[in-house]
């Protein structure tokens, strides 16, 4: 078995939790209701199951290779990318003005999950291109948009983001790449960038690099960084490709996972200077790059959900096939498939519950993004913007950390065979590790959650989320059956723990920063756990109501049980997490440095 897209679960979230019917009432999305979502997802599933999923294992065995400045991708990738572009998938969420389909993120996010489940190494190329498109749409001049956007949205050209340098990882104040202004208004770019995903490849005819650099005389630190478009090939006035630019790939990295995705070291300006064009205004590069980063951070969260789904499917299949030992309850008087063993069920349920909860959380965040951009009421847009921005570090941080646990459990279900490469379970585990690192490590997501998203507004956005959770608790008690009432108890305890932590963070970030930041990642994990659990509680309510109507009984019963499992086994950890954050800071920071 390769991969079967979980279209039914995605559509459940899109319809009942993200409320696609409300999204479809917003200007520009009138054609994007449930029927459109269903048609798009079913078509997307066919492409990903049939074309991309079979190339995943091949990409791990035969990764991209570099020779004489050129990168050859895994056999089959180039043809698959051509099909991807011709299918219009790159333009799914981008504006119709430049040839995109203008669909809401609520639909696009589900398609992104499928793409990454099918083949994460491949999916990184469109993911980075999406980010580059977003940045140009927001900050690019009309001229830059006219030259680059249509070909990027069609998938004819791809995009990259160039932040990192050997001495500047997460600290972009240390960026040293130079930009020298030229008389014709262009700039010459000189410097080295590392960790550039799809910085060189053979799948598209041009690559549009977005590069952070400093103009001579710019202020020190992050205030002096500008953003430039540096194409691999120059573009002639008639839109045809011209001379090769002075931007070259000097090597690619050998990595733990995502081996088919070429991670390039790019050298700009070794032969007189790479020609670049300023995006927006000088010294505002970081602000523009954050547009790409926020787009990419959400997308990396979807990668976590995607790899978890693939690992879960693989583990279920193995657990049904692998015969080993008698069931402990004596129900079968012989060796049986290991799925009969309670601990194997516990592992599979953990994998399933994490994946479904994070998928639900991401769908709701996507709908908030859509409302923040398209809702006719300015106040509603503002509220949704604040909610979406609060959600981004949760979707990125919690979903990727959970993917490590889920893919590790996937190996464990396979036992010794999981440690053997031929089963494929180990690839998901290796591929997942990067997700907690790139586009800002989990600690950087947590810093963002503490500083920008909680302390800055005195915890008001976070406490607003808590109030919404409280409404769901009341609905569980008033409308739900026994399962709903049991989940309500867990959800209440988790919300109270969350509120305590929010108040601790908002009240102490200025006065006791070390105490707060000692618990910043645990706060992120607590917030993700609670918000994902909240969505599972909402899902349970919907499933109970649908079951009462006789709709799809098998699916709805499974949803109720999965939500109960999440509450009993995962959400129940929240009060203990609260204690470690609020009471445990001293033991994090107390040990003298020389004692380590």
Q: Which residues contact 294 (CB under 8 A, 6 or more apart)?
A: 389, 392
240: left (phi over 0), alpha (psi -120 to 50) or beta: beta
Cβ atoms within 10 A of the Cβ of 524, count? 25
Portion of the chain with pLDDT greater than 70, in percent: 100
70-72 and 274-278 as β-strands: parallel, antiparallel, unpaired?
Answer: unpaired
CA distance 88 to 476: 42
The answer, yes or no, to whether residue 1 has pLDDT greater than 70, is no
Q: Is the dihedral of CA 157, 158, 164, 170 positive or negative?
A: positive
Mean pLDDT of 147-167: 97
Domain boundaries, the chain: 7-64+72-152, 155-288, 441-590
| CATH level 3 topology of 7-64+72-152 | Butyryl-Coa Dehydrogenase, subunit A; domain 1 (1.10.540)
Residue numbers annotated as active site: 439
- Residue (of 299, 354, 351, 316) closest to 120 by Cα position: 299
The answer, yes or no, to whether residue 513 has pLDDT greater than 90, is yes
Q: Which pTM value belongs to this model?
A: 0.98
Q: Which two tokens stand for residue 159?
A: 């995009």
Q: pLDDT tens digit string along 424-463?
A: 999 999 999 999 999 999 999 999 999 999 999 999 999 9
The predicted pLDDT at position 494 comes to 98
Q: pLDDT tens digit string along 197-247?
A: 999 999 999 999 999 999 999 999 999 999 999 999 999 999 999 999 999
Cα 34 to chain center, whole Å? 23
The predicted pLDDT at position 422 comes to 94
Cβ atoms within 10 A of the Cβ of 140, count? 24
Q: pLDDT tens digit string along 531-579?
A: 999 999 999 999 999 999 999 999 999 999 999 999 999 999 999 999 9
Burial grade of 109 (CB within 10 A; 0-12, 13-18, 19 or more)? buried
Query: 155-288 has which CATH code?
Result: 2.40.110.20
What counts of helices (H) and strands (E) characterise the chain? 20, 12
The predicted pLDDT at position 291 comes to 86
CA distance 389 to 367: 12
Read off the DSSP letter of residue 394. Answer: H
The predicted pLDDT at position 294 comes to 87
Q: pLDDT tens digit string along 35-51?
A: 999 999 999 999 999 99
Element (H, E) at 235: strand 233-235
Confidence of residue 588 (pLDDT cuts 50, 70, 90): very high
Q: What angle do CA 467, 559, 400 make, to 5 degrees?
A: 70
CB contact at 8 A, 389 and 42 = no
């Amino acid at each position: 078995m390769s991969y079967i897209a979980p279209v039914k679960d995605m559509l459940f979230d899109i319809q009942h939790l993200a409320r696609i019917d409300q999204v479809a009432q917003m200007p520009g999305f009138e054609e994007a209701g449930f029927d459109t979502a269903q048609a798009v997802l079913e078509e997307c599933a066919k492409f990903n199951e049939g074309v991309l999923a079979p190339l995943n294992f091949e990409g791990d065995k035969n990764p991209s290779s570099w020779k004489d400045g050129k990168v050859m991708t895994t056999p089959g990738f180039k043809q698959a990318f051509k099909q991807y572009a011709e299918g219009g998938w790159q333009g799914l969420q981008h504006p119709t003005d430049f040839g995109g389909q203008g669909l809401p993120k609520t639909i696009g996010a589900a398609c992104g999950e499928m793409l990454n489940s099918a083949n994460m190494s491949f999916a990184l190329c469109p993911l980075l291109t999406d980010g580059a498109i977003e940045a140009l749409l927001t900050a690019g001049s009309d001229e830059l948009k006219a030259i680059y956007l249509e070909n990027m949205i069609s998938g004819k050209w791809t995009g990259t983001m160039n932040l990192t340098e050997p001495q500047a990882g997460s600290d972009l104040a240390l960026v040293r790449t130079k930009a020298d202004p030229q008389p014709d208004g262009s700039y010459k770019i000189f410097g080295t960038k590392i960790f550039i995903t799809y910085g060189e490849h053979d799948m598209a005819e041009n690559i549009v690099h977005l590069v952070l650099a400093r103009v001579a005389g710019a202020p020190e630190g992050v205030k002096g960084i500008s953003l430039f478009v540096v194409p691999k090939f120059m573009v002639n006035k008639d839109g045809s490709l011209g001379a090769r630019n002075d931007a070259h790939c000097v090597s690619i990295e050998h990595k733990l996972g995502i081996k088919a995705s070429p991670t390039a070291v790019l050298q700009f300006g070794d032969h007189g200077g790479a020609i670049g064009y300023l995006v927006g205004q000088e010294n505002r590069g970081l602000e523009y790059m954050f547009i790409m980063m926020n787009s990419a951070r959400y997308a990396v969260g979807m990668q976590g959900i995607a790899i978890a789904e693939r690992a879960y499917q693989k583990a279920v299949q193995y657990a049904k096939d692998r015969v080993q030992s008698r069931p402990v309850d004596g129900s079968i008087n012989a060796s049986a498939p290991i799925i009969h063993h309670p601990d194997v069920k516990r592992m599979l349920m953990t994998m399933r519950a994490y994946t479904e909860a994070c998928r639900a959380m991401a769908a709701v965040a996507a709908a908030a993004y859509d409302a923040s951009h398209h809702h006719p009421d300015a106040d509603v847009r503002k509220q949704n913007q604040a909610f979406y921005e609060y959600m981004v570090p949760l979707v990125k941080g919690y979903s990727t950390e959970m993917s490590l646990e889920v893919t590790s459990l996937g190996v464990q279900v396979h036992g010794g065979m999981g440690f053997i490469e031929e089963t494929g379970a180990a690839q998901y585990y290796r591929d997942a590790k990067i997700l907690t690192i790139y586009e800002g490590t989990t600690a950087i997501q947590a810093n963002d959650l503490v500083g920008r998203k909680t302390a800055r507004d005195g915890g008001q956005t976070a406490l607003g989320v808590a109030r919404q959770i409280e409404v769901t608790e009341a609905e569980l008690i008033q409308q739900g059956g026994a399962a709903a009432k049991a989940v309500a108890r867990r959800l209440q305890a988790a919300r109270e723990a969350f509120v305590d932590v929010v108040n601790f963070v908002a009240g102490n970030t200025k006065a006791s920063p070390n105490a707060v930041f000692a618990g910043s990642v645990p706060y992120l994990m607590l917030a993700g756990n609670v918000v994902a659990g909240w969505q599972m509680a909402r899902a349970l309510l919907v499933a109970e109501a649908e079951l009462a109507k006789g709709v799809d009984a098998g699916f709805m019963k499974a949803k109720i049980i999965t939500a109960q499992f999440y509450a009993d086994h995962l959400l129940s950890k929240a009060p203990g997490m609260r204690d470690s954050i609020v009471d445990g800071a001293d033991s994090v920071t107390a040990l003298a440095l020389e004692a380590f």
